[in-house]
Structure 1
Amino acid sequence: MGNEHIAIFSSSEWAERGFCKQCGTHLFYRLKQEEHYAIPVGLLDGSDWDFTEQIFIDQKPEFYTFANDTRMLTEEEVFAQHANKS
Protein backbone atom coordinates (compact mmCIF):
# COMPACT_ATOMS: atom_id res chain seq x y z
CA MET A 1 0.00 0.00 0.00
CA GLY A 2 1.08 3.55 -0.66
CA ASN A 3 -0.11 7.11 -1.00
CA GLU A 4 -2.43 6.16 -3.86
CA HIS A 5 -4.62 4.40 -1.25
CA ILE A 6 -5.00 7.44 1.00
CA ALA A 7 -7.86 9.96 0.69
CA ILE A 8 -7.48 13.35 2.39
CA PHE A 9 -10.49 15.29 3.64
CA SER A 10 -10.18 18.99 4.54
CA SER A 11 -12.18 18.94 7.79
CA SER A 12 -11.70 22.63 8.64
CA GLU A 13 -9.74 25.71 7.59
CA TRP A 14 -6.77 24.55 9.67
CA ALA A 15 -6.90 20.73 9.64
CA GLU A 16 -7.28 17.69 7.43
CA ARG A 17 -7.87 13.99 7.96
CA GLY A 18 -6.54 10.99 6.07
CA PHE A 19 -8.52 7.82 5.36
CA CYS A 20 -7.93 4.53 3.56
CA LYS A 21 -9.73 4.70 0.18
CA GLN A 22 -10.49 0.97 0.34
CA CYS A 23 -11.90 0.44 3.82
CA GLY A 24 -12.40 3.95 5.25
CA THR A 25 -10.09 3.46 8.24
CA HIS A 26 -9.06 6.77 9.83
CA LEU A 27 -5.29 7.10 9.35
CA PHE A 28 -4.34 10.55 10.61
CA TYR A 29 -5.28 14.08 11.62
CA ARG A 30 -2.97 16.93 10.60
CA LEU A 31 -2.87 20.67 11.16
CA LYS A 32 -2.39 22.10 7.66
CA GLN A 33 0.43 24.49 8.53
CA GLU A 34 2.53 21.88 10.32
CA GLU A 35 4.28 18.62 9.58
CA HIS A 36 2.84 17.04 12.73
CA TYR A 37 0.54 14.05 12.16
CA ALA A 38 -1.67 12.63 14.92
CA ILE A 39 -2.34 8.97 14.25
CA PRO A 40 -4.57 6.48 16.10
CA VAL A 41 -2.37 4.38 18.38
CA GLY A 42 -4.27 1.27 17.29
CA LEU A 43 -2.58 1.47 13.87
CA LEU A 44 0.82 0.69 15.42
CA ASP A 45 2.25 -2.50 16.85
CA GLY A 46 3.78 -2.57 20.30
CA SER A 47 2.97 -1.23 23.73
CA ASP A 48 6.17 0.55 24.81
CA TRP A 49 4.69 4.07 24.78
CA ASP A 50 5.82 7.12 26.71
CA PHE A 51 2.53 8.87 27.46
CA THR A 52 3.48 12.46 28.37
CA GLU A 53 0.72 14.84 27.26
CA GLN A 54 -3.07 15.17 27.20
CA ILE A 55 -4.91 17.77 25.14
CA PHE A 56 -8.43 19.24 25.45
CA ILE A 57 -8.27 18.25 29.12
CA ASP A 58 -11.10 20.68 29.92
CA GLN A 59 -13.44 18.46 27.87
CA LYS A 60 -12.42 15.23 29.63
CA PRO A 61 -15.15 13.28 31.44
CA GLU A 62 -14.62 13.21 35.23
CA PHE A 63 -14.33 9.40 35.26
CA TYR A 64 -11.52 9.41 32.66
CA THR A 65 -8.16 9.42 34.45
CA PHE A 66 -4.71 8.12 33.53
CA ALA A 67 -2.37 6.50 36.05
CA ASN A 68 0.71 8.59 35.23
CA ASP A 69 1.23 12.34 35.51
CA THR A 70 1.22 14.15 32.16
CA ARG A 71 1.36 17.65 30.80
CA MET A 72 -2.27 18.78 30.49
CA LEU A 73 -3.45 21.35 27.93
CA THR A 74 -6.92 22.88 27.69
CA GLU A 75 -8.59 23.55 24.34
CA GLU A 76 -7.57 27.22 24.56
CA GLU A 77 -3.94 26.29 25.27
CA VAL A 78 -3.82 23.82 22.35
CA PHE A 79 -5.11 26.36 19.82
CA ALA A 80 -2.87 29.12 21.24
CA GLN A 81 0.16 26.84 20.94
CA HIS A 82 -0.53 26.19 17.25
CA ALA A 83 -1.58 29.77 16.45
CA ASN A 84 1.86 31.01 17.48
CA LYS A 85 3.54 28.76 14.88
CA SER A 86 2.05 30.43 11.79
Structure 2
Amino acid sequence: MTKAVHSIKGRCLCGAVTLTVQSVNPRLRACHCDMCRRHTSGMFISVDTLPGTLEVSGPAQSFASSEWAERGFCGTCGSTLWYGTVHDGMRHPAAGLFDAADLGEMTLEFFVDECPQGYALSGDHRKLSTEETIAMFEGDA
Protein backbone atom coordinates (compact mmCIF):
# COMPACT_ATOMS: atom_id res chain seq x y z
CA MET A 1 0.00 0.00 0.00
CA THR A 2 1.40 3.39 -1.01
CA LYS A 3 1.36 6.12 1.60
CA ALA A 4 -0.01 9.52 0.60
CA VAL A 5 2.46 12.36 0.31
CA HIS A 6 1.23 15.62 1.80
CA SER A 7 2.37 18.98 0.45
CA ILE A 8 2.41 21.40 3.38
CA LYS A 9 2.70 25.15 2.92
CA GLY A 10 3.74 27.57 5.63
CA ARG A 11 4.90 31.10 6.26
CA CYS A 12 6.65 33.26 8.80
CA LEU A 13 4.82 35.75 11.01
CA CYS A 14 5.00 38.64 8.50
CA GLY A 15 4.52 36.44 5.41
CA ALA A 16 7.77 37.53 3.75
CA VAL A 17 9.13 33.96 3.85
CA THR A 18 7.07 31.08 2.54
CA LEU A 19 7.92 27.40 2.81
CA THR A 20 6.64 24.27 1.12
CA VAL A 21 7.56 20.75 2.22
CA GLN A 22 6.52 17.22 1.39
CA SER A 23 5.74 14.72 4.11
CA VAL A 24 4.33 11.21 4.18
CA ASN A 25 3.50 11.48 7.85
CA PRO A 26 3.99 14.96 9.32
CA ARG A 27 5.28 13.73 12.68
CA LEU A 28 6.37 16.29 15.25
CA ARG A 29 9.64 16.39 17.18
CA ALA A 30 10.54 18.62 20.13
CA CYS A 31 13.94 19.75 21.36
CA HIS A 32 14.61 21.17 24.82
CA CYS A 33 18.34 21.94 24.47
CA ASP A 34 19.54 25.32 25.68
CA MET A 35 20.19 26.59 22.15
CA CYS A 36 16.67 25.74 20.96
CA ARG A 37 15.19 27.37 24.05
CA ARG A 38 17.19 30.54 23.44
CA HIS A 39 16.27 30.58 19.75
CA THR A 40 12.53 30.11 20.28
CA SER A 41 11.97 31.15 23.92
CA GLY A 42 10.63 27.64 24.51
CA MET A 43 11.07 24.21 23.03
CA PHE A 44 11.69 23.95 19.29
CA ILE A 45 9.08 21.79 17.57
CA SER A 46 9.79 20.64 14.03
CA VAL A 47 7.76 18.73 11.49
CA ASP A 48 9.23 15.62 9.86
CA THR A 49 9.58 16.04 6.08
CA LEU A 50 10.86 14.07 3.13
CA PRO A 51 14.57 14.86 2.63
CA GLY A 52 15.29 17.49 0.01
CA THR A 53 11.71 18.72 -0.33
CA LEU A 54 11.94 21.98 1.63
CA GLU A 55 11.43 24.95 -0.68
CA VAL A 56 11.98 28.42 0.82
CA SER A 57 11.35 31.79 -0.77
CA GLY A 58 11.83 35.25 0.66
CA PRO A 59 14.41 36.82 2.97
CA ALA A 60 15.39 33.67 4.86
CA GLN A 61 18.72 33.81 6.68
CA SER A 62 20.66 31.35 8.78
CA PHE A 63 22.97 31.54 11.74
CA ALA A 64 25.73 28.98 12.45
CA SER A 65 24.82 28.19 16.05
CA SER A 66 27.46 25.50 16.49
CA GLU A 67 29.98 23.48 14.50
CA TRP A 68 27.25 21.05 13.48
CA ALA A 69 24.08 23.15 13.23
CA GLU A 70 22.46 26.24 11.79
CA ARG A 71 19.22 27.98 12.67
CA GLY A 72 17.08 29.67 10.06
CA PHE A 73 15.04 32.82 10.58
CA CYS A 74 13.13 35.43 8.61
CA GLY A 75 15.30 38.45 7.83
CA THR A 76 12.24 40.71 8.15
CA CYS A 77 10.31 39.61 11.24
CA GLY A 78 12.79 37.20 12.88
CA SER A 79 10.46 34.18 12.92
CA THR A 80 12.22 30.88 13.55
CA LEU A 81 12.22 28.88 10.30
CA TRP A 82 14.34 25.76 10.80
CA TYR A 83 17.03 23.85 12.61
CA GLY A 84 19.60 22.51 10.16
CA THR A 85 22.38 19.96 10.45
CA VAL A 86 25.54 20.97 8.62
CA HIS A 87 26.96 17.49 7.91
CA ASP A 88 24.02 16.39 5.77
CA GLY A 89 22.38 19.71 4.80
CA MET A 90 19.05 18.67 6.35
CA ARG A 91 16.71 21.41 7.50
CA HIS A 92 13.99 20.61 9.99
CA PRO A 93 11.28 23.27 9.62
CA ALA A 94 9.48 24.77 12.59
CA ALA A 95 6.03 23.20 12.97
CA GLY A 96 4.37 26.50 13.91
CA LEU A 97 4.89 27.85 10.39
CA PHE A 98 2.41 25.37 8.94
CA ASP A 99 -1.34 25.48 9.41
CA ALA A 100 -1.36 21.75 8.61
CA ALA A 101 1.12 20.86 11.38
CA ASP A 102 -1.83 19.66 13.43
CA LEU A 103 -1.90 16.65 11.09
CA GLY A 104 1.05 15.23 12.97
CA GLU A 105 1.52 13.69 16.35
CA MET A 106 4.46 14.15 18.70
CA THR A 107 6.82 11.23 18.15
CA LEU A 108 10.17 12.24 19.62
CA GLU A 109 11.68 14.59 22.19
CA PHE A 110 15.37 15.48 22.44
CA PHE A 111 17.21 16.56 25.62
CA VAL A 112 14.25 15.74 27.91
CA ASP A 113 16.51 16.02 30.95
CA GLU A 114 16.99 19.71 30.04
CA CYS A 115 13.25 20.40 29.71
CA PRO A 116 12.04 23.07 32.14
CA GLN A 117 9.50 21.61 34.56
CA GLY A 118 6.85 24.16 33.54
CA TYR A 119 6.23 22.73 30.09
CA ALA A 120 7.02 19.02 30.04
CA LEU A 121 5.10 17.16 27.36
CA SER A 122 2.89 14.21 28.15
CA GLY A 123 2.40 11.14 25.99
CA ASP A 124 3.99 7.82 25.17
CA HIS A 125 6.34 9.05 22.44
CA ARG A 126 10.10 8.42 22.51
CA LYS A 127 11.97 10.71 24.94
CA LEU A 128 15.76 10.95 24.71
CA SER A 129 18.10 12.25 27.41
CA THR A 130 21.09 14.43 26.55
CA GLU A 131 23.34 11.36 26.43
CA GLU A 132 20.89 9.47 24.18
CA THR A 133 20.40 12.47 21.90
CA ILE A 134 24.12 12.99 21.40
CA ALA A 135 24.60 9.26 20.73
CA MET A 136 21.85 9.41 18.10
CA PHE A 137 23.39 12.41 16.36
CA GLU A 138 26.77 10.69 16.42
CA GLY A 139 25.20 7.64 14.79
CA ASP A 140 25.41 5.29 17.79
CA ALA A 141 21.68 4.92 18.44
TM above 0.5: yes
Q: Report the Cα distance in structure 1 between the residues aligned to 2:61 and 2:121, rounded to whole angstroms.
A: 33
**1:60 aligned residue:** 115
**Count of equivalent residues:** 85
The equivalent residue for 2:31 is none
The whole-number CA distance in structure 2 between the counterparts of 1:19 and 1:64 is: 24
When normalised by structure 1's length, the TM-score is 0.79
Q: Higher strand proportion, which one?
A: 2
1:11 maps to which residue?
65
Q: One-letter code of the match for 2:138?
A: A
In the superposition, the TM-score normalised over structure 2's length comes to: 0.52
Q: Give structure 1 stretches of 5+ with no counterpart.
A: none
Residue 82 in structure 1 maps to residue 118 in structure 2: no
Distance in structure 2 (CA, Å) of the matches to 1:7 and 1:63: 31
1:45 CA displacement? 0.6
Q: Which stretches in structure 2 are left out of the alignment for 5+ residues? A: 1-16, 18-55
- Between the aligned residues of both structures, percent identity stands at 34
Query: 1:11-66 CA distances to partner (integer Å, 9 max, x unpaired)?
Result: 11111111111221111111111243233221111322221111101112335343
Query: Would you identify which runs of 4 or more consecutive aligned residues in structure 1 move more than 6 Å?
Result: none
Aligned counterpart, 2:79: 25
- Greater CA drift, 63-72 or 26-35: 63-72
- The 1-side partners of 2:86 and 2:78 are apart by 21
CA RMSD of aligned residues (A): 2.1
Name the CA shift for 1:12/1:68 in 2 (closer, same or farther; >3 Å): same
The alpha carbon displacement at 1:74 in A equals 0.9
